[in-house]
Amino acid sequence: MQTFDLEAEGLRKLNSTLHRQAETTNQTEWEIINPRGSHAIAVGLDAPIEVTIKGSTGYYCAGMNKQATINVHGSAGPGVAENMMSGAVIVDGDASQYAGATGNGGTLVIKGNASSRCGISMKGIDIVVHGNVGHMSAFMAQSGNLVVCGNAGDALGDSIYEARLFVRGSVKSLGADCIEKEMRPEHLAILADLLERGGCDAKPAEFTRYGSARKLYNFNIDNAY
Amino acid sequence: MAQPESSIISTSTTHIEGKIVKDTDTDGPPQTTPVQSATFSQSINAEIRRAAATGIYDIRGGGAKRKVPSFDDLLFLGASISRYPLEGYREKCETSVTLGARHASNPIELDIPITIAGMSFGALSGPAKEALGRGATLAGTSTTTGDGGMTQEERGHSNKLVYQYLPSRYGMNPDDLRRADAIEVVVGQGAKPGGGGMLLGQKISDRVAEMRNLPKGIDQRSACRHPDWTGPDDLEIKILELREITSWKVPIYIKVGGARPYFDTTLAVKAGADVVVLDGMEGGTAATQDVFIEHVGQPILACIRESVRALQDMGMHREVQLIVSGGIRTGADVAKCMALGADAVAIGTGALIALGDNDPRWEDEYQKLGTTAGAYDDWHEGRDPAGITTQDPELMARFDPVEGGRRLNNYLKVMTLEAQTIARACGKSHLHNLEPEDLCALTMEAAAMAKIPLAGTNWYPGKPGTSY
């Protein structure tokens, strides 16, 4: 276990140190202390290492992550795991806006609640939120899965493409072109896997699936009204 | 004056046949000449009829086609007794420019201050992107990706490649981010400040769809605002993240449309930009609503001095570089941008024309599409006879990227020579030494917008210390 004091050594040194870790590194476990809500902690990592941040983080923690597993022992500011490519990010507390925005792959687990625009423009990432998500979540979501064990706010899945949304609780409102869909056996299997990966003991059968009605896929002036 | 009904019918019939009716053309009392409305012009009426028939607004590519005050409304004064010219072809007139040294450890060094603006793979074919890379590299300048990610054609052939960071984040990944020579955070563009991208289903081929992670054949609309930041304070943190991911090596540009250039430049610099890219309404787009192109945003002439003023007010002129774009066609335009305070320019439409877009050699095919060479702007339909703004394999095969690159290089060289010619005539040993004092304006509008004295005077509207 390597311990890095962010307050003492600074952000640039932290990220450059983590960037230097190669695929074959034997320094696979890192602990970051004194994060104090700093922005851009552990961004752009590309090695199979495990990073644990002891405290809350600011904006864009774990941005564009590849391969690494990043644990936040606190809450995460806006844009946690934005544009993640692979690996995993686990937030013990709550996440602010844009959690998992534009993520291409990997798994983001938020054990508390996520604020607005969770999974906005997601492109393949899997997001499991143990609590609730705020308004405009999964806006223009292209692909991947968003699991919400609590409730969803207004305009869920507005202008959604092919992402799958699973919500256990209530949905305040659905966004444009987002509809409730049939939960077939293959969806239950996908959801069971997601819940297991997310460390969530909820039952797949308790969820409702939402997705695209695909009515905005080709240009029609009536859609502008 | 009221006229008998019969005479109105008579004159209007004659007019429809395309003749100009004079009051002596008909028997009987003199007639009033039919008058076309300046408000309801033939082209406006045609658009009303098109709208009424289809129920859909007009979508097209390109930039503003309306006439706006432009670089043509400025002239250089040249040398005189008080200004000593340099000898053409013999005395040095430097053209190099360094972009992004404010924070980046690897700033961009270009031989010429004319860059290639962002144009996407998807809007353009792979070979067209390759040609841009080839031509720019030959000329010693950079190209820029677009909405849709980085292609191997362009990265492989562009010695200097600027990677756009767009609201859609199509194809965005940290590997390409690190392969880029600079990052351009796109907040807006001149053709549509406040608008997102539009790539209709006809151009979403398998490859385009895969790069954008979208189903094939659907209309693809890019978001108009970034998904994970709102406002300049967030942008500052976003730039910090991008710098951390790329180890503070590459410059970060911020591109804005010609909306509020003073404030946008100020906020971009405050957010940490190394370079500000300012795009006027003449700048092109792959596709958007005609009403957006023609009615939102300002001409570049009105934007440059305001942006420069913002940089000067912060003590950042030349520290943060300014790249301007939108309607730049010739070396004279380049020289005028430099004189107004820009560090470099970017060209898009001009580059496409150099490659062969809208070339009269394809006139027969333009006619079949209901248009003519020079006016073709339905790039979104993917039926470009020149094989440039298309994903159709047969049309793409018409375009030779090696020849295209050669033509672009020639065009860039000519523009550079023209700009040098003007700079030498003004006694300048570097294009960056051109200054507002070298210019005069031909019209009051241009004088006011560019803050350049009206020809024959030492005054422009709004000049400090003048009463009107």
User: Which helix (H) or strand (E) is B108 found in, with range?
Assistant: strand B108-110
Q: Is B214 on the interface with A (CB under 8 A)?
A: yes
Chain-wide mean pLDDT for chain A? 96
Query: B458 in a domain, yes or no?
Result: no
Q: Are residues B199 and B134 in the same domain?
A: yes
Chain A residues with CB under 8 Å of B104 CB are none
Q: How many domains does chain B have?
A: 2
Q: Is B437 on the interface with A (CB under 8 A)?
A: no
Query: A141 in a domain, yes or no?
Result: yes
- End-to-end CA, chain A: 58
Q: Which residue of A has its CA nearest to B169?
A: A102
Q: How near does any CA of chain B get to the CA of A65, in Å?
A: 8
Q: Do B213 and A123 touch (CB under 8 A)?
A: yes
Q: Are residues B145 and B47 in the same domain?
A: no
pLDDT of residue B442: 98
Query: A222 in a domain, yes or no?
Result: no
Q: Are residues B283 and B371 in the same domain?
A: yes
Secondary structure class of B221 (helix, strand, coil): strand
| Angstrom distances, CA of residue A168 to CA of A188, B242, B264 | 13, 36, 44
Query: A24 in a domain, yes or no?
Result: yes
Alpha carbons A80 and B250: distance in angstroms, whole number: 23
Which pair of tokens denotes residue A146? Answer: 């968003």
Q: How near does any CA of chain A get to the CA of B197, in Å?
A: 13
Q: How many domains does chain A have?
A: 1
pLDDT of residue B104: 98
Query: A224 in a domain, yes or no?
Result: no
Q: How near does any CA of chain B get to the CA of A201, in Å?
A: 30
Q: Evaluate if residue A61 carries a pLDDT over 70.
A: yes
Query: B171 in a domain, yes or no?
Result: yes
Chain B residues with CB under 8 Å of A221 CB are 55-57
Query: B240 in a domain, yes or no?
Result: yes
Those residues whose C-beta lies under 8 Å from the C-beta of residue B257, and which sit 6 or more positions away, are B187, B188, B189, B190, B191, B192, B193, B194, B279, B281, B283, B297
Q: How do residues A204-216 score in pLDDT, each as one tens digit?
A: 999 999 999 998 8
- What CATH code is carried by the domain that includes residue A171? 2.160.20.60
Chain B residues with CB under 8 Å of A59 CB are 234, 237-238, 241
Model confidence, pTM: 0.93
Which pair of tokens denotes residue B155? Answer: 């990265």
Crossing angle of helices B401-425 and B126-139, in 10° steps, is 40
Chain B residues with CB under 8 Å of A43 CB are 241, 244-245
Q: Are residues B238 and B90 in the same domain?
A: yes
The residue assigned the tokens 């047969």 is B394
pLDDT of residue A22: 83
Q: How do residues B117-158 score in pLDDT, each as one tens digit?
A: 999 988 899 999 999 999 999 999 999 999 888 988 889 999
Q: What are phi and psi of A157, to 5 degrees?
A: 65, 30
User: Which residues constitute the domain of residue B304?
Assistant: 71-450
pLDDT of residue B4: 41
- What CATH code is carried by the domain that includes residue B440? 3.20.20.70
Q: Which residue of B has its CA nearest to A96?
A: B228
Query: A146 in a domain, yes or no?
Result: yes
Q: Which residue of A has its CA nearest to B222?
A: A140
Q: Do B228 and A79 touch (CB under 8 A)?
A: yes
CB B76 within 8 A of CB B442: no
Q: Are residues B250 and B388 in the same domain?
A: yes
Per-residue pLDDT of chain B (468 residues; tens, 9 = 90+): 344 444 444 444 445 455 565 666 667 787 888 999 999 999 999 999 999 988 888 999 999 999 999 999 999 999 999 989 999 878 999 999 999 999 999 999 999 999 999 999 888 999 999 999 999 999 999 999 998 889 888 899 999 999 999 999 999 999 999 999 999 999 999 999 999 877 777 778 888 888 888 888 888 878 899 999 999 999 999 999 999 999 999 999 999 999 999 999 999 999 999 999 999 999 999 999 999 999 999 999 999 999 999 999 999 999 999 999 999 999 999 999 999 999 999 999 999 999 999 999 999 999 999 999 999 999 989 999 999 999 999 999 999 999 999 999 999 999 999 999 999 999 999 999 999 999 999 999 999 999 999 999 999 999 988 765
Q: Is B85 on the interface with A (CB under 8 A)?
A: no
Query: B457 in a domain, yes or no?
Result: no
User: Which helix (H) or strand (E) is B193 found in, with range?
Assistant: none
Q: Are residues B318 and B418 in the same domain?
A: yes
Those residues whose C-beta lies under 8 Å from the C-beta of residue B130, and which sit 6 or more positions away, are B153, B154, B156, B157, B401, B404, B405
CA R_g for chain A: 18
Query: B455 in a domain, yes or no?
Result: no
Q: Are residues B32 and B85 in the same domain?
A: no
Q: Are residues B243 and B138 in the same domain?
A: yes
Q: Do A40 and B240 touch (CB under 8 A)?
A: yes
pLDDT of residue B191: 94
Q: Are residues B79 and B48 in the same domain?
A: no
Q: How near does any CA of chain A get to the CA of B322, in Å?
A: 27
Q: Do A64 and B215 touch (CB under 8 A)?
A: no
Q: What are phi and psi of B329, to 5 degrees?
A: -125, -30
pLDDT of residue A216: 85
